[in-house]
Amino acid sequence: MADMTAARTPSRRFRVPPALFPYLLSMPALLVCIGILVPFFTAVFYSLQRYRLSQPWNRAMNWGENYLDFLTDPSFWNTLEVSLLYAALTVGIELALGLGIALLLQKRTRVNNFVSIMLLMPLMTAPALAALMFKLMTNPNFGILSYFAQAIGFGDMRWGADPSTALLTVVLVDVWVYTPFIMILLLAGLRSLPTQPFEAAALDNVPRLQQFWRITLPMLTPYLLTAALFRLLDSIQQFDIIYAMTQGGPGDTLMVFQVEAYLTFFQSTNVGRSAALLIILWAITFFLSNVFIKNWLRLRERARGEA
């Protein structure tokens, strides 16, 4: 009888109080947030200091002097110009190429699916490794790209070693690596568009070009903004391709924010200036992301209103 009573007695189990359950679910996000905010505020703190690793005894707060020095520093304005120009060129070219390739592969066939998978291969290559590959291919002695350049009449093409072609060289590497990313996003967007507007336009004999400008492009704009935002935030923080190709040179031709901050920290040992550069880069990316997100939300609300 005692055994039967013990068998009917439910075993004690640990139960989470309902009031604590939401906090336990949000714990991973809280830990990630702490892991992000601690380095961020540490960088803000360092950016307000006069701090060099080579002179630790001379460390002191300067309360924004690092930021004020940038206003009269030509190298900072050159860094800002190069970073924005690099981001604009790479994102613009990749959007145009990605959209063109996605339109060619829009129809679902075995060949198009196979080609779209093969085009993703550059995206699986590490950017630094891709930069080293292009550095070999642009070698003036044995590089295949240098051979083709000579074949079409550019005999003295120095690629990354020439200030006039250095930007073109790193943009070429970035476009080769990241255009598949834009292509796959836009291809997914094209294949998810409703077919009714296109069927109605075909019945009315609307030319394909007008269908693209009046139907496809407006409906695809949210996908274009999403792809542009991802690539813009990545390209304006570019480091590995530029550093592997030219280390910011020749001279300061390709001295973008990340490379400038890296060299300032490890070569000049100026922790305060390096941290200030990264905080300014964060402010730029924060502003640009807000602009893109607001436009994306406005387009979504307009699409809901039209629906």
On the question of a cis peptide bond just before residue 39, with omega within 30 degrees of 0, the verdict is no
Number of helices (H), then strands (E), belonging to the chain: the values are 14, 2
pLDDT, tens digit (0-9, with 9 covering 90-100), for 216-258: 888 888 889 889 988 998 999 999 999 999 888 888 889 999 9
Between these two residues, 181 and 162, which has the higher pLDDT value? 181
pLDDT, tens digit (0-9, with 9 covering 90-100), for 255-271: 999 999 999 999 888 99
Residue 295 half-sphere exposure, CB side, CA atoms within 13 Å?
Answer: 14
pLDDT of residue 11: 54
Which CATH number describes the domain made up of 79-306?
1.10.3720.10
Q: Would the pLDDT of 151 be above 90? A: no
pLDDT of residue 211: 86
Integer Cα distance of 127 and 260 in angstroms: 19
Tell me the DSSP string of 106-170.
-S--HHHHHHHHHTTGGGGS-HHHHHHHHHHHT-TTT-HHHHHHHHTT-TT--GGGSTTTHHHHH
Q: Would the pLDDT of 4 be above 60? A: no
pLDDT, tens digit (0-9, with 9 covering 90-100), for 52-104: 888 888 888 888 888 998 888 899 999 999 999 999 999 999 999 999 999 99
200 burial type by CB count under 10 A (0-12 exposed, 13-18 middle, 19+ buried): exposed
Q: Would the pLDDT of 147 be above 90? A: no
Locate 188 and state its tokens: 């997914």
29 burial type by CB count under 10 A (0-12 exposed, 13-18 middle, 19+ buried): exposed
222 neighbors 294 (Cβ within 8 angstroms): no
pLDDT of residue 1: 46
